[in-house]
Structure 1
Amino acid sequence: MIRAFDFFFSLVGLVVGFPILIVLLVVGFFDTGSPIFTQQRVGRNEKPFTLVKFRTMKKGTASVASHLASADSITPFGQFLRRTKLDELPQLWNVLKGEMSLVGPRPCLFNQEELISERKRRGVLAARPGITGLAQVNEIDMSTPALLAETDEKMLQSLGVRDYFRYIVQTVSGKGAGDRVRR
């Protein structure tokens, strides 16, 4: 049932949000010259997939988890995108394709070995990664791998339709600050 919700809402989001996506794409082009950011991430059952986002950092920034990146690498438009969570909109394409869910553990990079190990131990990697979830609305990010994996496990053990919609509503209404970036 959740996959059906994912498919429906990502399709509607892409169609309805298309004008917004185009505006953000154009502004992003003037901001960085390359508004779309793609990156290999750990997917369901550790299968790699290409995550799509709006670029929020300068081109050439090292491919590391957000909490390891420097705040100086974030562009002014990127700060707006992160604050409003609009940088995540292109991930609706990943959801539509079935690589991600709207709700699930945030997909990590393959070099985040401690987080991968913790998630593997807890069975979290058997789930589709998501755009948001329990950890995100509670401001738990990848800088605390054990706590994040524990929170992901807790969410997945009790995830039903009610929680699915609750996490989405909380995210859209501004709960959670997103991934931390070093100051």
Structure 2
Amino acid sequence: MYLKYIKRWMDFVLALLALIFLSWLFLTLIITIKLTSKGPVFFCQRRIGIHKSEFYILKFRTMRIDTPKDVATHMLKNPDEYITPIGRFLRRTSLDELPQLINIIVGHMSIVGPRPALWNQYDLIEERDKYGANDVRPGLTGWAQINGRDELPITVKAKLDGEYIKKVGFIFDLKCILKTFSIVIRRDGLKEGA
């Protein structure tokens, strides 16, 4: 009942309220990004959604426009050469993820769920199939995110995503959200580059 009906409505209402409440921050970041680097304000990238459908995730652009496309940042040999000055701050604080509130409102994502894989992360997608983790909406944050983030090997990440599927509920989602704030503040598990 929660996963099928309640969760989607809660996601919609909370994301909409957050978007309204944080509109001043959105505007500030949009102006700052535009004034400090060439290119669009938003970065769109093909990701895998519920039932392996594809959608475009929204983020504030943190990298130069000549950055290799469809490569996870932690897979780049030297990501520092591509990250913009404001981008460094946005990534460190996870503020680059804020536009995903729009993805949540539209229904591509949830507040909590497995982080959406890149369309070409075939190993992760296949591994998640073993646990049914491709059959729920991906999340802004998730169980794997708060238990290792970028440092986790694919098999462990997928297994944690599977654990989330088994435990999903209002209290568990709340636990994930609260722990996310702590992880972001401490920058736990954040890895830039191969």
Q: Do the two structures share a fold, i.e. TM-score over 0.5?
A: yes
Residue 80, structure 1, aligned to residue 85, structure 2: no
1:15 maps to amino acid: I
What TM-score do you get using the length of structure 1 for normalisation? 0.93
Q: What percent of counterpart residues are identical? A: 38
Q: 1:24 to 1:178 in 2, by over 3 A?
A: farther
Selected match of 2:25 from 15, 20, 23: 20
Q: Deviations over 1:44-87 (max 9, x none)?
A: 11100010000111112112112112232112211111111111
What TM-score do you get using the length of structure 2 for normalisation? 0.88
- Which runs of structure 1 show a deviation greater than 6 angstroms over 4 or more consecutive aligned residues? none
Task: Structure 1: give runs of 5+ residues left out of the alignment.
Answer: none
Contact 1:67 1:143 in 2 (8 A): no
Matches of 1:178 and 1:88, distance apart in 2: 16
Q: 1:179 to 1:115 in 2, by over 3 A?
A: farther
Residue 64, structure 1, aligned to residue 67, structure 2: no
Offset, 1:141: 2.7
Q: Deviations over 1:95-149 (max 9, x none)?
A: 0011000000000111111101101222110010001011111223376211110
Q: CA RMSD in A?
A: 1.7
Q: Deviations over 1:127-177 (max 9, x none)?
A: 100010111112233762111100110112101111211211222243554
Contact 1:106 1:130 in 2 (8 A): yes
Contact 1:66 1:179 in 2 (8 A): no
Offset, 1:32: 2.4
Bigger shift: residues 48-57 or 71-80 = 71-80
